[in-house]
């Protein structure tokens, strides 16, 4: 890097470059986007914690599984409506519509919760949906305004903002639960989302006005000419999107099945402790302490990996290596669990798997959409990041139900099942990585040809 290039960067850009390479003119825009995703994640993590707490306290843990199935069905309708909005409105107007719609929903749901018992069910079923759609929309926007080369560098900072929001959100939720009602918490969440909207509009004005080195497509002014495109049809007609969808599905199946393995091992340990200690043993306190420590370490580990590891893997090893890291870790981890079914080993392996997924795998998955079309970013990505992701939860739940109910499968057998899924995931990840590299090369060639 030349001295002239170094001198042309601002102090902010030099500071951000300690995490990943930030070039002249990119600093303010990427910082605004990083704060934006931080606010979005923090708001929806607060809602997730509150919603999960109320579900378990009001109707029991089983309802949480039922809501996942209902949410997936509801998502089909929501995504088809969204796809029609996406091709009708400009990017900036679409962002405003989605933010304001979510704020309106987050105002209505707490009122329904207190108004009637049926309103509680509506809150349980719909409370988790805005997060899926809005987070996916943010990353679709990031893919739209960044070139493949920029995304490979700058998405690391966006991933850091998301990870930080996921760490701060539960801390804020714990305080809010102690002092505020659901209506008041809804007001706090909406205030955070309104601030996120301000940041989103500010970013879009910068990229559309060419006030920063991050450039924009013309979708801020008008949407593409496609009309009436159906969300799911778009995914099914693209081999590349289908391959990404398969990777996302397998990722969540392996992760969710692994969560069951961890929960089952804790349940077994708690039962053993209760048998030894007797009535003085508090099972809920034992599991609660474990998970409070688990998620604290996970949050710290994810942040450290995002800052210290992700950018270096992408820069020096490339996209193919990056997308294969998580399935390799999962394969090795569940192979070890299939041999040593000790709760401590399972806990540490699950911690490593989740940390790699929320840092390396998550950032890389978003990068995969950089060379895609506008429709594939704003419609196909939303379908994959919300519906397909949720379908992975349901498939994993079905596998656990069948495995436990009809085959009495043990922890070791579920680990072997995950080994098989991880192997398929690894093969698909390699193929998606190769396809991405070809698309990026093709896009670069087209750009050079157009410039000539």
pLDDT value of position 1: 46
Task: Let me know if 280 is exposed, middle or buried by CB neighbors in 10 A (0-12, 13-18, 19+).
Answer: exposed
CA-CA distance, 426 to 328, in Å (whole number)?
7
Residue 205 has pLDDT above 60, yes or no: yes
CATH number listed for the domain at residues 230-452: 1.20.1250.20
Name the token pair of 159.
């991933």
pTM for the full predicted model = 0.82
Number of neighbouring beta carbons within 10 Å of residue 175 = 10
Contact (CB, 8 A) for 240 and 372: yes
Q: Where are the alpha helices (DSSP H) in 146-282?
A: 148-179, 182-208, 231-236, 239-277
- What are the pLDDT digits (tens) for 388-414? 988 998 898 889 889 988 999 999 999
Number of neighbouring beta carbons within 10 Å of residue 118 = 9
Residue 423 has pLDDT above 80, yes or no: yes
Closest to 36 in 3D by CA, of 204, 151, 196, 144: 196
- What are the pLDDT digits (tens) for 353-369? 999 998 999 999 999 99
Q: 136: pLDDT confidence band, cut at 50, 70 and 90? A: confident
Residue 410, φ and ψ in degrees, nearest 5: -90, 175
| Comma-separated ranges of CATH 1.20.1250.20 domains in the chain | 230-452
Q: Domain 1-220 class?
A: mainly alpha
Top mean-pLDDT range of 113-122, 167-176, 190-199: 190-199
pLDDT value of position 133: 85
- What are the pLDDT digits (tens) for 8-65? 788 898 999 888 889 888 889 999 999 999 999 999 888 877 776 676 556 554 455 5
CA-CA distance, 355 to 327, in Å (whole number)?
13
Contact (CB, 8 A) for 51 and 123: yes
Closest to 154 in 3D by CA, of 15, 33, 248: 33
Higher pLDDT, 169 or 213: 169
Residue 231's alpha-carbon distances to 75, 80, 109, 392, 432, in angstroms, are 11, 6, 26, 18, 21
């Amino acid at each position: 890097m030349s001295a002239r290039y170094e001198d042309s960067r601002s102090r902010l850009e030099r500071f951000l470059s300690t995490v990943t390479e930030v070039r002249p003119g990119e600093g303010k825009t990427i910082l605004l986007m990083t704060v934006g995703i931080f606010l979005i994640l923090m708001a929806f993590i607060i809602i997730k914690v509150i919603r999960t707490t109320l579900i378990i306290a009001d109707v029991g843990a089983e309802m949480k599984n039922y809501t996942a199935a209902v949410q997936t069905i509801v998502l089909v309708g929501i995504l088809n409506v969204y796809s029609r909005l996406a091709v009708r409105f400009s990017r900036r107007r679409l962002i405003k519509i989605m933010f304001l719609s979510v704020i309106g929903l987050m105002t209505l749901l707490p009122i329904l919760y207190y108004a009637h018992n049926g309103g509680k069910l509506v809150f349980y079923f719909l409370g988790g949906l805005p997060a899926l759609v809005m987070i996916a929309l943010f990353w679709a926007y990031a893919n739209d305004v960044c070139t493949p080369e920029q995304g490979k560098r700058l998405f690391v900072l966006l991933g850091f903002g998301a990870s930080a929001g996921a760490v701060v959100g539960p801390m804020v939720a714990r305080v809010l639960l102690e002092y505020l009602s659901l209506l008041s918490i809804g007001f706090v969440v909406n205030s955070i989302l309104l601030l996120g909207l301000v940041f989103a509009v500010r970013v879009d004005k910068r990229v559309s006005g060419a006030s920063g080195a991050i450039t924009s497509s013309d979708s801020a002014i008008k949407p593409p000419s496609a009309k009436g495109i159906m969300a799911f049809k778009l995914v099914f007609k693209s081999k590349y999107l289908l391959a990404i969808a398969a990777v996302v599905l397998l990722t969540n199946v392996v992760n969710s099945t692994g969560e069951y393995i961890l929960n089952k091992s804790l349940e077994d340990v708690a039962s053993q402790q209760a048998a030894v200690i007797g009535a003085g043993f508090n099972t809920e306190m034992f599991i609660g302490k474990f998970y409070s420590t688990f998620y604290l370490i996970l949050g710290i580990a994810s942040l450290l990996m995002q800052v210290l590891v992700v950018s270096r893997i992408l820069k020096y090893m490339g996209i193919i290596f990056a997308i294969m890291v998580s399935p390799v870790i999962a394969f090795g981890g569940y192979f070890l669990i299939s041999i040593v079914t000790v709760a401590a080993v399972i806990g540490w392996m699950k911690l490593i798997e989740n940390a790699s997924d929320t840092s390396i795998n998550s950032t890389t998955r978003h990068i995969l959409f950089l060379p895609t079309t506008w429709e594939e970013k704003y419609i196909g990505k939303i379908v994959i990041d919300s519906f397909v992701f949720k379908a992975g939860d349901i498939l994993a739940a079905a596998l656990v139900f069948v495995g436990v109910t009809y085959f009495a499968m043990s922890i070791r057998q579920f680990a072997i099942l995950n080994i098989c899924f991880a192997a398929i995931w690894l093969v698909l990840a390699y193929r998606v990585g190769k396809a991405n590299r070809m698309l990026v090369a093709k896009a670069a060639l087209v750009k050079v040809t157009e410039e000539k």
